[in-house]
Amino acid sequence: MRQVTVGFVRFGAVFGVSMLVPIVWAAAVALGVWWGGWAWIAPVFWACFGTLALSRPVCRMFRALVARWTGTVIPAGYRQAAPVAQMSTGYWWNGFSYSRTSERAREEQRWRTRWSDPATWRDVRFTAIAPVTVIVPLLGLTLALVQRPLGIIVAIASAPFAWRLAEPLAVRFLRPSPAMALADRVEELTAQRADTTVAQAAEIRRIERDLHDGAQARLVSLGLSLATAEKLMATNPDQAKALLREARVGAAASLSELRELVRGISPPVLNERGLVDAVRASALDSPLDTNVTADLRQKLDPPIESALYFGIAELMTNAVKHAHATRAQISIVQRNTDIVVEVEDNGRGGASVRAGGGLDGLRRRLAVFDGTLEITSPAGGPTRARMLVPCESS
Amino acid sequence: MRILVAEDLYLLRDGLVRLIEAYGHQVVATATTGPETLDALLKWRPDVSIVDVRMPPTQSDEGLRAALEARRRAPGLPVLILSQHVEQLYARELLADGAGGVGYFLKESVFDADQFIEALERVAGGGTAMDPAVIGKLLASGSSNRKLDRLTEREHDVLSLMAEGLSNQAIGQRLFLSDSAISKYTTSLFGKLDITDDDNNNRRVLAVLRYLNK
């Protein structure tokens, strides 16, 4: 009984939302007929305008209803308006034209974005499709005009089931179209590409600076020591010997400097053994008591391997530095075509992804491979981080 | 000593051969790839071999794998691994068979030629020789950490040198202490760490490394 009541309530909701636009049109047509002559143009114009203005709220409500009843979340895919910027002339530029005030610029931009957004036209189309959900009860009512008892029975019997049509219909017609999904993807990739290029350039500059101030300078001083030693060999062998010893120490120092630099660019174990052993090796070096479990059936692409390795290294460093953990558990597994890496520590928790922070950087580096980062870190711990990167199985 | 040098870079290989010959030892063969190294190790059975970790054809850990494979087929075959970087992971793999006759060094350890040749001789004699960098990492990490805190600074120094593979006498020379002073330190540190002392130096070093590797 309760289910039937719920069915009727939901029928009411679906009916209200999906019949809003048809009712506007019915009213427009009725007005046009009543006024007669050329006067019908005015109500039709207002109905068109009303459809355009109502389509987005109607679709929003429809999506909300579907999400509430069935849990199916349908992405809207509306285009976001770009920020409005004030130019040096004092005028505002909104990506299309100049305006005297920011309000005007924003309003104009809103209409332009809306007009050119394919989602707007999809929504308009959907306002025409939505009444299908209540078509059987409506037909029942129409039938009732001719054959009263049968029509009313059909209408009342079918009404509680009407809302069930809402989900398949919304999934089929309210989703972003492939073209819209592609446009979003292009936008996302453009942003990522810009990100990667900037990061790469910064990295190369860092390496250049390290080499310039470190190894190169040391080699120059090494050459100087050797040249001086050569000169002093005959006249002052003791001093020459001391210089040679100095040169040897300098050579060892520049080697260890280069080793650190290389480890930061591409850890040798990673090249020699792959991800799992490289993580094992860094777990051995870590002050944390670390347990590594791994189940990887294939060799990963070097860029993914490197991103995951440095991701794990960063999470481990955080565990030591910020969470004051003493133990960590790392697991690397392959689930279908995804690589899932989990890092859990016994620290004090409270980690979050802040814009511009270390974890945000990690998330962006993973995003390049369509990877994701999830952090659960309640205050008091433990922190659990999960990186997921899809990989083509070879 | 009859020595095999497995190193793919010409400059380093040449330098090593010259250094070894300057100390009056003989280089019986050289190898430049992983498979070549394995063949040469098994064919020549040298007194000791110097093997680079990274070698062609894959430029991964070919050399290390060849050395491990050769020691699997000929247990205790003395091998000293030279590398641009040291990893506890590799040290563990080398020490896993417990047979001794193993060395693991950073390439710059050849800068101190006397000590390098000494380490080479120790490995040839079935002992172990570990780079201070490896031992430093072993001491700095791992679950044995808390017990190590109980050691005095001097005992810590003695433990590190022992783990590098040095005998009591050699440790005494490095720290400018008498043999008897060193044995006093070793007895007390073995007591603190619950390791059974052994008269045989090699077995004792392996026991220490096993303890640190736990």
Nearest CA in chain A to B112: A248
Is B111's CB within 8 Å of A251's CB?
yes
Is A268's CB within 8 Å of B111's CB?
no
Provide mean pLDDT across the span B90-118: 91
Model ipTM?
0.86
Q: What span, in angstroms and rounded, lies between the C-alpha atoms of B4 and B43?
A: 11
Is B107's CB within 8 Å of A255's CB?
yes
Exposure of A393 by Cβ count < 10 A (0-12 exposed, 13-18 middle, 19+ buried)?
exposed
Kindly report the length of chain A: 394
DSSP chain B: -EEEEE-S-HHHHHHHHHHHHHTT-EEEEEE-SHHHHHHHHHHH--SEEEEESSBTTTTBSHHHHHHHHHHHHSTT--EEEEESS--HHHHHHHHTT----EEEEEGGGGGSHHHHHHHHHHHHTT-EEE-HHHHHHHHHSSTTHHHHTTS-HHHHHHHHHHHHT--HHHHHHHHT--HHHHHHHHHHHHHHHT----SSHHHHHHHHHHHHH-
Pull the structure tokens for residue B192: 């603190």
Structural contact between residues A126 and A57, judged by C-beta atoms closer than 8 angstroms: no
Across the interface, of B64, B108, B142, the residue whose CB is closest to A252 is B108
Across the interface, of A248, A268, A286, the residue whose CB is closest to B85 is A268
Across the interface, of B89, B142, B143, the residue whose CB is closest to A281 is B89
Domain map (residue ranges) of chain B? 2-133, 142-213
Could you state, in chain order, the average pLDDT of each consecutive group of 10 residues for chain A (394 residues)?
Answer: 86 88 90 85 89 90 89 81 76 81 85 84 88 86 85 86 85 83 84 83 88 88 91 92 91 90 91 93 89 89 92 94 92 91 92 84 89 91 92 62
What tens digit of pLDDT does each residue of B37-62 get? Answer: 999 999 999 999 999 999 999 889 99
* Cβ partners under 8 Å of residue A265, min gap 6: A207
Q: What span, in angstroms and rounded, lies between the C-alpha atoms of A293 and B107?
A: 32
Q: What span, in angstroms and rounded, lies between the C-alpha atoms of A240 and A247?
A: 10
pLDDT at B145: 61
From chain A residues 222-261, the ones with a CB under 8 A of any chain B CB are 248, 251-252, 255-256, 259
Whether the predicted pLDDT of B142 surpasses 70: no
**Superfamily name with CATH number, domain B2-133:** Response regulator (3.40.50.2300)
Across the interface, of B54, B107, B141, the residue whose CB is closest to A285 is B141
What tens digit of pLDDT does each residue of B62-84 get? Answer: 999 999 999 999 999 999 999 99
Does the domain formed by B142-213 have CATH 1.10.10.10? yes
Q: What span, in angstroms and rounded, lies between the C-alpha atoms of A316 and A120?
A: 47
> Is residue A277 within 8 angstroms of chain B, CB to CB?
yes
Helix (H, G, I), strand (E, B) or coil at A367: helix
A-B contacts at Cβ under 8 angstroms: 54
> Is residue B61 within 8 angstroms of chain A, CB to CB?
yes
